[in-house]
Amino acid sequence: MKRILVTGANGQIGSELVTYLRLLYGDQEVIASDITLENCSSPMEVLDVLDHEKFRNICESYQVDTLIHLAAILSVNAEKNPQLAWDVNMQGLLNGLEIAKEFNLQFFSPSSIGVFSHESPKDKTPQLTTMRPTTMYGISKLSGELLCDYYYQVFGVDTRSVRFPGLISSVTPPGGGTTDYAVEIYYAAIKDGHYTCPIKEDTYLDMMYMGDALKLIVDLMESDSSLLSDRNAYNVSAMSVCPKMIAESIQKYIPDFTISYEIDPLKQSIAESWPNSIDVSIAQKDWHFNCQYDLDNLTKHMLASLQK
Distance of alpha carbon 18 from alpha carbon 39, whole angstroms: 11
Bridge partners of 241, per DSSP, are: 205
304 upstream amide cis, omega within 30 of 0: no
Distance of alpha carbon 176 from alpha carbon 194, whole angstroms: 21
Distance of alpha carbon 3 from alpha carbon 163, whole angstroms: 24
Q: How far is the CB of 2 from ligand SER (least distance, A)?
A: 29
Site for ligand SER in 113-172 (CB under 6 A): 114, 137, 166
Q: Which residue is nearest to ligand SER (CB)?
A: 177
Beta strand 44-46 pairing with 205-209: unpaired
Site for ligand SER in 178-207 (CB under 6 A): 178-179
- 21, 59, 110, 221: which one binds ligand NAD (CB under 6 A): 110
Query: For residues 286 and 234, is the Cβ–Cβ distance under 8 A?
Result: yes
Q: Is 137 a catalytic residue?
A: yes
Q: Show the site string, 35-74: x = touches ligand SER by CB under 6 A, - = not.
A: ---------------------------------------x
Segment lying near ligand NAD (by CB under 6 A), choices 167-175, 187-195, 262-270, 282-290: 167-175
Polymer length in residues for the chain: 308
Q: Tell me which of ligand NAD, ligand SER, none is bound by residue 178, counting a contact when its beta carbon lies within the kind-specific cut-off of 5 to 8 angstroms.
A: ligand SER
The residue from 62, 137, 151, 152 that is catalytic is 137
Distance of alpha carbon 185 from alpha carbon 177, whole angstroms: 14
For every residue of 37-61, DSSP letters joined together read -TT--SSEEE--TT-HHHHHHHHHH
Q: Which is nearer to ligand SER, 166 or 243 (CB)?
A: 166
Q: Which is nearer to ligand SER, 31 or 162 (CB)?
A: 162
**Nearest Cα residue to 152 out of 112, 100, 116:** 100
Longest dimension (CA), the chain: 57
Q: Which is nearer to ligand NAD, 165 or 282 (CB)?
A: 165
Active centre residues (catalytic): 137
- Give the residues lining the site for ligand NAD (CB under 6 A): 7-8, 10-14, 34-35, 47-50, 70-72, 74, 88, 92, 110, 112, 164, 166-167, 174-175, 177, 179
- Give the residues lining the site for ligand SER (CB under 6 A): 74-75, 112, 114, 137, 166, 177-179
